[in-house]
Structure 1
Amino acid sequence: MSTILPGAAIWLLDSRCIDPAQQTQYEAWLGAGEAARHARFVRPQRQRQFLLGRALLRVAMGKLLGVAPAAIALEERPGQAPRLLSPADGPHFSIAHSGHWVACALSVTTPLGLDIEMRDPRRDVLALARQAFGPAVAAELEQLPLEQGRAAFYRRWSEAEARYKLGREAASCVALDHAELAIVLCCAAPLAQAPALVLSGMAPD
């Protein structure tokens, strides 16, 4: 049975809960192009992020449409997001990962771009802000209390990445609260309600 959600939904997975047996199952879901790309990754963490991102997308889309995750076919496109081949009338989607977190966003109504970033207290966010956004933004952040400035930097960073992934002008960008992550979803059309956040253990139906 499908679970059609209004607006948009963000699925979030802590990859630390996935064991090797589950990974083997998810590898079997990959298409030929995806499997070839998966095999080319040198860093184990990046390979795992790629696999779990594609698996999470299939689980989320399967629940949304009422189909088996293995039945969802994606076309690999170098330098771009994958294209959904089957089902042909599937939803818009975006995939993101940071550290041990993997996420995907789905919408049946609007194109979207999703970004997540782990907030790392060791990073010099003011130096990063100067490099990425210029001295004026860095000066604004410097005036804020430390944690507030750090949160503002990551929100701005994630929004910039989400807008880039959207690939067009955003009608709205929404930040979601999370203990470890900055999460921003940008959409081509305004959302009628806030996106739902779904925490997944990624056990398919």
Structure 2
Amino acid sequence: MDRDLQMIWLGYRLQLWPQAQCRSSLTDTEWQYASSLSTKRSLQFCNGRALARQLLQRYQAISPVGVGISLPSDAAPTLMVRNELWQLSISHSAQAIAVAVSRTNKLGLDIEQLKPRNTADFSREYPALAGASDQLAFYQRWTAAEAYSKYSGVPLLQVLRHSLPPDLPTHYLPLNGYMLCLCYQHADAELTITEDL
């Protein structure tokens, strides 16, 4: 299989850009939609779409006008690149945003801010979180469950009630104050990670 088909590009930033800084990477429709949202949600929306287009422009030389991303709905956003369906996953937490794109590799991505939680209660209640001995291990399991939920389309509560598949390819990225987890389809995929495009 063509190597480019298996590539995954993952980008993140730990400080959201102001909306105006994202404007050149958004369509007019997206910009109008963003103005209907709360300030926090608008920042997340604008940064997610801008980051997806910036990844594609940097690694595939695809102009932002060649990239279509569906507006939010009950389903995950779809990504069209030059009229071809690509894979996309977006996650945000506090001031952080993360985006993963791939031509064919099915994706699920989650980023979570690390903050104190009663991890023992969660671990007892949900099998997917069992065995987390410290905060870092808890957030690895939590982000894996969220990422797998996006990857599989199975609701998060249902994912939490079972152990996660042991053979699912995952990549963890501990960041300053955050934990990121990416689930993906093909174990031999090549992953390129970029901070703060």
- Tell me which residue corresponds to 1:180: 177
Secondary structure, aligned partner of 2:175: coil
Residues 61, 192 of structure 1: alpha-carbon distance in 2 compared, 3 angstrom cutoff: closer
1:97-116 equivalent positions in 2, closer than 5 A: 97-116=92-111
Task: Say which of 36, 44, 47 aligns to 1:52.
Answer: 47
Deviation for aligned residue 1:175: 1.4
Task: Say which of 163, 171, 176 aligns to 2:148.
Answer: 163
TM-score, normalising length: structure 2:
0.77
State how far apart, in whole Å, the 2-side matches of 1:135 and 1:108 are. 29
Larger radius of gyration: 1
Does the aligned pair in 2 maintain the 1:77–1:83 contact within 8 Å? no
Residues 136, 155 of structure 1: alpha-carbon distance in 2 compared, 3 angstrom cutoff: closer
Task: Say which of 75, 79, 102 aligns to 1:80.
Answer: 75
Residues 178, 113 of structure 1: alpha-carbon distance in 2 compared, 3 angstrom cutoff: same
Secondary structure, aligned partner of 1:151: helix
- Tell me which residue corresponds to 1:150: 135
Mind listing any 5+ residue stretches in structure 2 that lack a counterpart? 154-164
Mind listing any 5+ residue stretches in structure 1 that lack a counterpart? none
Q: Deviations over 1:141-195 (max 9, x none)?
A: 3xx3xxxx111111111001111111268741221232322111111221345x2
State how far apart, in whole Å, the 2-side matches of 1:99 and 1:5 are. 32
Residues 69, 154 of structure 1: alpha-carbon distance in 2 compared, 3 angstrom cutoff: same
Residue 37 of structure 2 corresponds to residue 41 of structure 1? yes
Secondary structure, aligned partner of 1:12: strand
Runs of 4+ in structure 1 displaced over 4 angstroms?
A: none
Deviation for aligned residue 1:65: 2.2
Deviation for aligned residue 1:37: 4.1
- Tell me which residue corresponds to 2:66: 71
Does the aligned pair in 2 maintain the 1:74–1:83 contact within 8 Å? yes
State how far apart, in whole Å, the 1-side matches of 2:144 and 2:114 are. 14
User: Could you tell me the percent identity over the aligned residues?
Assistant: 25
State how far apart, in whole Å, the 2-side matches of 1:22 and 1:162 are. 28
Amino acid at match of 1:65: Q
State how far apart, in whole Å, the 2-side matches of 1:126 and 1:154 are. 12
Q: Deviations over 1:64-97 (max 9, x none)?
A: 3212224312222511122223412364221111
Equivalent pairs counted in the alignment come to: 182
